[in-house]
Amino acid sequence: MTKYVYSFKEGSADMKNLLGGKGSNLAEMTNIGLKVPPGYTVTTEACLEYLEEGDISQKIEKQMKENMEEIEEEMGQKFGDTEDPLLVSVRSGAAVSMPGMMDTILNLGLNDKTIKGLTERTDERFAYDSYRRFINMFGEVVRGIPHSKFEERMDKVKKKRGAEKDVDLDAEGMKEVTEKYKDLVGDIPSDPWKQLVEATKAVFASWDNERAIRYRDLNDLPHDMGTDVNVQVMVYGNTGKNSGSGVAFTRDPSTGENKIYGEFLRNAQGEDVVAGIRTPLDISDLRDIWPDVYEELKEVCGILEEKYKDMQDLEFTIEDGELFILQTRTGKRTPNAAVKIAHDMHEEGIISKEVALLRIDGDQVEKILHKRIDPEAETKKLTKGINASPGAASGKVVFDTDEADERGSNDEDIVLVRSETTPEDIHGLVASQGVLTSRGGMTSHAAVVARGMGKPCVAGAEEIEIKSKEGYFEIDGKRIDKDDIITIDGTTGDVILGEAPLIEPKFTGEFEKLLQWADDIRKMGVRANADTPEDTEKAVEFGAEGVGLCRTEHMFFEPQRLEAMQELIISDDSQERKKALDKLMPMQKKDFRELFEAIGGRPIIIRLLDPPLHEFAPTEEKRQRELADKLGMDEDEIKAKVEKLEEENPMLGHRGCRLGITFPEIYRMQVRAILEAASETKEDGCDVKPKIMVPIIGNVEELKNIKERVIEEVERNVFEERQRIDYEVGTMIEIPRAAVTADEIAEEAEFFSFGTNDLTQMGIGFSRDDAGTFIPNYIDQGIFDKDPFQVLDQKGIGQFIEMATERGRKTKDDLSVGICGEHGGEPSSVKFCHGAELDYVSCSPYRVPVARIAAAQVVIEEEMEVDEGVDGY
Amino acid sequence: MTKYVYSFKEGSADMKNLLGGKGSNLAEMTNIGLKVPPGYTVTTEACLEYLEEGDISQKIEKQMKENMEEIEEEMGQKFGDTEDPLLVSVRSGAAVSMPGMMDTILNLGLNDKTIKGLTERTDERFAYDSYRRFINMFGEVVRGIPHSKFEERMDKVKKKRGAEKDVDLDAEGMKEVTEKYKDLVGDIPSDPWKQLVEATKAVFASWDNERAIRYRDLNDLPHDMGTDVNVQVMVYGNTGKNSGSGVAFTRDPSTGENKIYGEFLRNAQGEDVVAGIRTPLDISDLRDIWPDVYEELKEVCGILEEKYKDMQDLEFTIEDGELFILQTRTGKRTPNAAVKIAHDMHEEGIISKEVALLRIDGDQVEKILHKRIDPEAETKKLTKGINASPGAASGKVVFDTDEADERGSNDEDIVLVRSETTPEDIHGLVASQGVLTSRGGMTSHAAVVARGMGKPCVAGAEEIEIKSKEGYFEIDGKRIDKDDIITIDGTTGDVILGEAPLIEPKFTGEFEKLLQWADDIRKMGVRANADTPEDTEKAVEFGAEGVGLCRTEHMFFEPQRLEAMQELIISDDSQERKKALDKLMPMQKKDFRELFEAIGGRPIIIRLLDPPLHEFAPTEEKRQRELADKLGMDEDEIKAKVEKLEEENPMLGHRGCRLGITFPEIYRMQVRAILEAASETKEDGCDVKPKIMVPIIGNVEELKNIKERVIEEVERNVFEERQRIDYEVGTMIEIPRAAVTADEIAEEAEFFSFGTNDLTQMGIGFSRDDAGTFIPNYIDQGIFDKDPFQVLDQKGIGQFIEMATERGRKTKDDLSVGICGEHGGEPSSVKFCHGAELDYVSCSPYRVPVARIAAAQVVIEEEMEVDEGVDGY
């Protein structure tokens, strides 16, 4: 018979899939002897069965009952007993935790009879506080009644009774709240067993609620795992001054520092801490209040780190001075903390270099390089909150989540300002540059979610008074209106008026070391896509071993150059065209000289002009008039020319090498600029390795044509007068036809570079500009797991990469093959490139460290025969 | 030592590559005993060497001299002899003849000394007529002096001397012309040997002149073969009334009838006939004038057909009653004639069925089905000319070739009207619907070229007086202006004012028989692309075995349907949308019922909606207002919706199955209409085999999604109430990703159909709408041999076809695989599909016979192990 229910004594940490993250960890902690209130786990399998069948089978219920009986025996209490009732918590848990998204019911087992027993065993205020909490949570989780309805009633009672906070209410007050809640919710079963079954079903059902699905989508989590349900004996942090609840990280999740980090509330249940309703005390205060408990907690942290070999995030309750551990899980951390923890744990001898590297989530590495506010800059500091998620950001103040979502999605820079956030606010967070809250701490919802997204968050900025309805917030009488710009610095907690100047961060020593370990291990090269000397220097600083893609078209968009380019495009007069080219050539040459110096002898791949000419065309009437005057043409003629350049499908139009073939002057000018610059750089004693890359090749004849009619011709001219330098000629592989005829193309190319952006566009037939209208729907419906423009479509586009690499190397076994599409800095795609035996990946400078780490991880994973990275954060 | 020069006695017909078409045939005729003036051929190898070296080597010159000495011996004359000079013609010739494009020099060997000998041996008028012709041709061919300059001088002399035609000039006149020509040309070497060497070089060089390159491009001929040069003793058709020159076809090249066909001019050199300057006599008149010569010519025709096993086109000269054969080649013929000749030659026992089929040029078959003017229609007949190339066409009168080219290329229907055409007019002919000339006959330039292109031509309509400068032509005082519409019927020779109603042709019995032979031989099925019952009936009539592609989008463009479609697209109101769908559904169903009846139980593949929605969007303001009223929406809202539907790259946008996934209502409506129509058709006792094809599949998940959410759901509903019918679901393979993941897609598809139009667009990255700006240049530069949208790019796109077929069949070995892109009716592409083991091709109804023939030819070629089709026409 299938076992659907496991006592905490039966499970272990490696049963995550069946028992969920929470359940398996509770079992593990129970078994290593930590003080965990007894309980059991209803498995994820039961959840999936429930979701399929629509009900919990008798078999499952029977096993739940058997386990409950064991607990009753252990505790010497009875579930539903009127004198000394056993009360339980019911919590969901999944293999990967989803903070705040799944639901919890505490104090289950209370009804109008058992409340009497509880009252007698404890005190009336506590008992009714517990009861009203139960009804509240049951009402929300099982009956779906909005939280605000409970709040309203609570507020009314508080007002009536002159209580400022919940804790100010006495027993009678709590009783009144309880009655009001009961009226609100209506039919709560009085049979505790029925309560439990209904609660279990509700938790199971919540797996498929919208917020959960949204969160999983956002975090690339699978939808078919289900959640477990943990039923656990209640312990109480709210029995009085000698009790409390808290959360602790074994290390600082923000910086990675090796010290217990966290916060707690006295006389409070755990939910109060997480919800961020009261601002909690720092964990260090625990030492002063309950030194023994603090020491015990420290010990527990050590045991857990030793066991899990990773930083843990735990929940604890102190009931009348006794410490209970309610949960542990691998703690979420900032990218910077992840680096420091991985580094330190290796230095402390807990994990190997390899495991340390696997502990770094590739997607997060990019965010290590958070910007911060220039400390030298003069700024108007408004206030300071808790530095809840590092990095700095500026944006317009918006209070409404939906508005933040809409405006943020339209590329406005928004800072979302809320008193606190809830899971309903996630879409607004996603679209904002950062979030500022007036309540809650480091572990509040806003903080946790922002850290997960790598966005800056300043939390609990208590000086702020938000008047969202009136459209402003106040700090010390100073009014900040909606749409005013503010800057928040989640590294320091500062809130600044206006747009503060931001500066680039430096690598930490720990990160440098990890990257060094990665460089020792990885087999692929890592280059950067860089178009300017500044980008190039940044890239080298971040560890790029060369430039894998220098896009020359960006060089034409500066006003003076754009003018010359327009003269070139528009004029029919070959004299005028020559003049325009003569203007452009020295500018291009200067660009290249600067680039060659910046890259300092490393290889640099320069791509010849790629976009269609209409991108440069003068569309403004004023400019058309100017050109008409200058070129002695008719304005209408110019208009007609501009119109003629427009295309139905510019992506598949007259661009790249197609321009080089029909209009070779521009490429000749570019090649001349490259070769002259290279030669002069060499004459100046600087090493230079230019590689000329021809884009949009679909047919070897195109490459032959460009080589013969452009490159070789220019070469002859240039090296007649200047020092000869070695250079290479290669091509982008970005047209599907190029991939299948790569054997032919390799005859003419010394290197290939996969332009996976275009290869994805043509290979899947998705225009990047247009596919936005249906890609989200495609991902929702599971047609693609991920946006193929962000994460390489390995099954489809990956085949073109493999095919082209194999065929190209068949012709030329030393063919250099790399990738320069945006996928070159996306971890799973980098790993795929390793598998496809590419020589290097090239990506934006900020992603170079990502690629270095990912390229090492894949080697380690191969060696460990591990298919997936270590999960848990 | 390389042999660069072959006497006619040394060569044979199978040495075409080396001796060219003309040279090898002259040799062949010499050797089978026909009366051919002696001569020799300088090989194509010598030509290529010349083109490379820039000069004729001494080795070649030496061999030419040796051969000349042999001829001198045979003729008893000396080259350059002042008393009885040997005169020769120098003609180019290539393996494939290019009429009018290469150049000829007659009477070479004349100079101021030898002219005296010729004068004495013949008469002064003849001698100077010959001399002035030599100078004229030498001037044009070797010195590149325009023809018009000679004409001007000739006209001056004629005017001065009151001569109307050239023949009216007496000896003194010819002498004066000769002097004027000498002044014009200047330095003609007096040494005949130098004349010969210069002429030979000029002919060689002419291989690379623009016209020749253009012609080869147009006719898909290779550029690297070179031409030979034939040096042949002169015979004269212009020595008096007892002489003449002509061309003859062994069968009628227009109808294929088995009788000698051709024309001749008395007292004229061959060039006079071909140039179309004088309108010649019909060959049948030869019987009356010189019965013996006629009989001899008939005999020669028989010998040549027996030898070449094909219809021949020969040139002859009668010198003082003696018949010389100057050239023979496989004759160009109309597609209809080709069919009749192939059929008849098989019936006459000359060739096998297989050879008969190979004699049909696939590209031409389509043109067999020429339209003609409805004989029942009342038309305004303007005049009648020579029915020089069959078929009828209407268009606007244009006199200027460049204008015809430009306007015709912009899809205007043009009839080019010229007194005569020259090779410079080819681009105008290409762009016109047909050509009308006032001079020249069946073998004039216009006639030959038009027949080659399968375009209607009425030639020699002598009543017409063209005033091209004034912009009109006159017939019997009636003025027809430029841009007036006329209709020409090249089958009858009729010229009609206005647009005459045209009727569809019927197959001839001969063609039916050939197609029958083809059907017996071919292995691939042939289906048609047909969207309407009319198309479907036509397709079946032309031999289609089913419909391979029925495009349903065309069904939405009728006004009433378009309106409903627009309501569907624009409305946000689900009620309104349902209403629109409810309007469309019965119309679609009716469409399908009619189609099922028309195809009569044969398979029919119906493709669900393919184009993006914006193609249906209401762009006119008036219509937007109407819709606003109807749907109770704001006009601006509608405008905004229409704008939102626009895409940057619609080719790669929201279309095909992508619409079916995000917007399943339309597909559901279509599938319902198909299944209900099929079920009802079956209930009516009519067999029906519908196949539903889903377009733009790039990922098997898309197909799965459409099957589950659309097709299977609708199926359940429809067959609850109606008789169940069998149907299949398959997919287009038109996205490169679909080709590489065809193994996965085949899990869900019962058939594949290659949409090679889109596959070419995405595979090569060429937008069909935009690539027109560079494809011609690409073909000029040899990057693609042919336009990949017309002729399948076998090397590139072909690989996707092979890959997808192989992978698909690996998954499902009985997977039906076909092609429904336009390539499905293009002969070389059809042959490729056979090689790729496709089950069928599908093409437009008019191309069905092309495909039937080509599919048989490839089987024959495989069996004969012949790589290329029989060339020569």
How many angstroms from the chain centroid is the CA of residue A237? Answer: 34
Nearest CA in chain B to A803: B740
Average pLDDT on B468-488 reads: 91
For residue A644, count other CB atoms closer than 10 A to its CB.
11
- What pLDDT is attached to residue B45? 92
Q: Which tens digits make up the pLDDT trace of B738-776?
A: 999 999 999 999 999 999 999 999 999 999 878 878 888
Mutate to test the interface with B, among A658, A702, A759 (most CBs of B within 10 A): A658
* Nearest-angstrom CA–CA distance, A43 and A20: 7
* Nearest-angstrom CA–CA distance, A773 and A777: 8
> What token pair was written down for B205?
């060089």
| B737 neighbourhood in chain A, CB within 8 Å | 763-765, 793, 796-797
Nearest CA in chain A to B766: A652
Q: Which tens digits make up the pLDDT trace of A107-146?
A: 999 999 999 999 998 889 999 999 999 999 999 888 888 8
Look at A770 and B741 and tell me if their CB atoms are within 8 Å.
Answer: no
* Average pLDDT over chain B, rounded to an integer: 90
Closest CB to A702 among B761, B767, B783 = B783
Residues 6+ apart with CB under 8 A from B317: B235, B236, B237, B243, B244, B245, B269, B270, B323, B324, B326
pLDDT class of B491 with cuts at 50, 70, 90: confident
Look at A796 and B741 and tell me if their CB atoms are within 8 Å.
Answer: yes
Closest CB to A796 among B740, B782, B783 = B740
Look at B652 and A783 and tell me if their CB atoms are within 8 Å.
Answer: no
How many angstroms from the chain centroid is the CA of residue A831? Answer: 18
- Show the beta-strand stretches assigned E in B721-859: 728-733, 751-754, 816-819, 840-843
* Nearest-angstrom CA–CA distance, A838 and A834: 6
Residue for token digits 């015809």? Answer: B404
CB B532 within 8 A of CB B555: no
Per residue, the 3-state secondary structure of A261-272, as one string, reads EEEEEECCCHHH
CA dihedral A475, A479, A483, A489 (to 10 degrees): -20
Cβ burial, residue A218 (10 Å; 0-12/13-18/19+):
middle
Backbone angles phi, psi at B321, to 5 degrees: 85, -5
Residue B755 Cα, gap to closest chain A Cα (Å): 13
CB B761 within 8 A of CB B775: no
* Nearest-angstrom CA–CA distance, A485 and A434: 12
> What token pair was written down for B442?
């069946």
Judged against a pLDDT cut of 70, whether residue A870 lies above it is answered with: no
* Nearest-angstrom CA–CA distance, A324 and A318: 6
Among the listed residues B443, B490, B492, the one whose alpha carbon sits nearest the alpha carbon of residue B263? B443
* Nearest-angstrom CA–CA distance, A62 and A73: 17
Residue B788 Cα, gap to closest chain A Cα (Å): 12
* Nearest-angstrom CA–CA distance, A47 and A227: 6
Q: Which tens digits make up the pLDDT trace of A612-648?
A: 888 888 888 888 998 888 888 888 888 888 888 888 8
ipTM over 0.90: no
- What pLDDT is attached to residue B196? 95
* Nearest-angstrom CA–CA distance, A562 and A577: 14
Q: Count H helices, E strands: chain B? A: 35, 33
Local structure of residue B616 (DSSP, 8 states): T
| B702 neighbourhood in chain A, CB within 8 Å | 783
Look at B736 and A770 and tell me if their CB atoms are within 8 Å.
Answer: no
- The helix (run of H) or strand (run of E) holding residue B533 is helix B533-541
CA distances from A871 to A263, A304, A787, B241, B531 (A): 25, 17, 21, 104, 55
For residue B69, count other CB atoms closer than 10 A to its CB.
12
| B796 neighbourhood in chain A, CB within 8 Å | 698-699, 737, 740-741
Residues 6+ apart with CB under 8 A from A508: A336, A339, A340
| B661 neighbourhood in chain A, CB within 8 Å | 774, 777-778, 781, 783
Q: How many CB pairs under 8 A join A and B?
A: 177
CB A397 within 8 A of CB A437: no
pLDDT class of B648 with cuts at 50, 70, 90: confident
Local structure of residue B137 (DSSP, 8 states): H
* Nearest-angstrom CA–CA distance, A104 and A89: 7
Closest CB to A649 among B658, B736, B767 = B767
Judged against a pLDDT cut of 60, whether residue A580 lies above it is answered with: yes
Judged against a pLDDT cut of 60, whether residue A872 lies above it is answered with: no
Name the H helices within A712-796.
Answer: 712-721, 736-740, 742-745, 756-764, 775-780
Active-site positions of A?
445, 820
- What pLDDT is attached to residue A124? 92
Amino acid at B569: I
CB B460 within 8 A of CB B470: no
- The helix (run of H) or strand (run of E) holding residue B308 is helix B291-308
Judged against a pLDDT cut of 90, whether residue A88 lies above it is answered with: yes
Q: Which tens digits make up the pLDDT trace of A286-328?
A: 999 999 999 999 999 999 999 999 999 999 999 999 999 998 9
Choice among A256-260, A601-605, A628-632, B678-682 with the minimum mean pLDDT: A628-632
CA distances from A139 to A150, A187, A205, A511, B254 (A): 9, 10, 15, 48, 93
Choice among A9-18, A544-553, B208-217, B635-644 with the minimum mean pLDDT: B208-217
Judged against a pLDDT cut of 50, whether residue A728 lies above it is answered with: yes
- Pairs from B274-277 (Cβ < 8 Å, separation ≥ 24): B274/B99, B274/B100, B274/B247, B274/B443, B274/B444, B274/B445, B275/B440, B275/B444, B275/B445, B276/B420, B276/B437, B276/B439, B276/B440, B276/B441, B276/B443, B276/B444, B276/B445, B276/B446, B276/B459, B276/B460, B277/B420, B277/B439, B277/B440
Mutate to test the interface with A, among B410, B646, B649 (most CBs of A within 10 A): B649
* Average pLDDT over chain A, rounded to an integer: 90
Among the listed residues A811, A857, A819, the one whose alpha carbon sits nearest the alpha carbon of residue A837? A819
Buried/exposed code over A817-830 (b: 16+ C-beta within 10 A; e: otherwise) = bbbbbbbbbbbbbb
Known catalytic membership, residue B223: no
| B764 neighbourhood in chain A, CB within 8 Å | 698-699, 735-737
Backbone angles phi, psi at A248, to 5 degrees: -140, 145
Judged against a pLDDT cut of 60, whether residue B871 lies above it is answered with: no
Q: How large is the angle between the packed helices B192-206 and B58-75, nearest 10 degrees?
A: 120
Among the listed residues A48, A129, A37, A53, the one whose alpha carbon sits nearest the alpha carbon of residue A91? A37
Closest CB to B782 among A701, A740, A784 = A701
Residues β-bridged to residue A605:
A691
| A762 neighbourhood in chain B, CB within 8 Å | 652, 736, 762-763, 765
pTM > 0.90: yes or no: no
Residue for token digits 């003729």? Answer: B75
Judged against a pLDDT cut of 60, whether residue A692 lies above it is answered with: yes
Cβ burial, residue B376 (10 Å; 0-12/13-18/19+):
exposed
Cβ burial, residue A462 (10 Å; 0-12/13-18/19+):
middle
Q: Which tens digits make up the pLDDT trace of B47-101?
A: 999 988 889 999 999 999 999 999 999 999 999 999 889 999 998 876 555 644 4
| A652 neighbourhood in chain B, CB within 8 Å | 649, 651-652, 761-762, 765-767, 770-771
For residue B544, count other CB atoms closer than 10 A to its CB.
30
Name the H helices within A37-166.
Answer: 44-53, 58-75, 114-121, 124-141, 147-161
Look at B765 and A800 and tell me if their CB atoms are within 8 Å.
Answer: no
Residue B730 Cα, gap to closest chain A Cα (Å): 18
- What pLDDT is attached to residue B782? 87
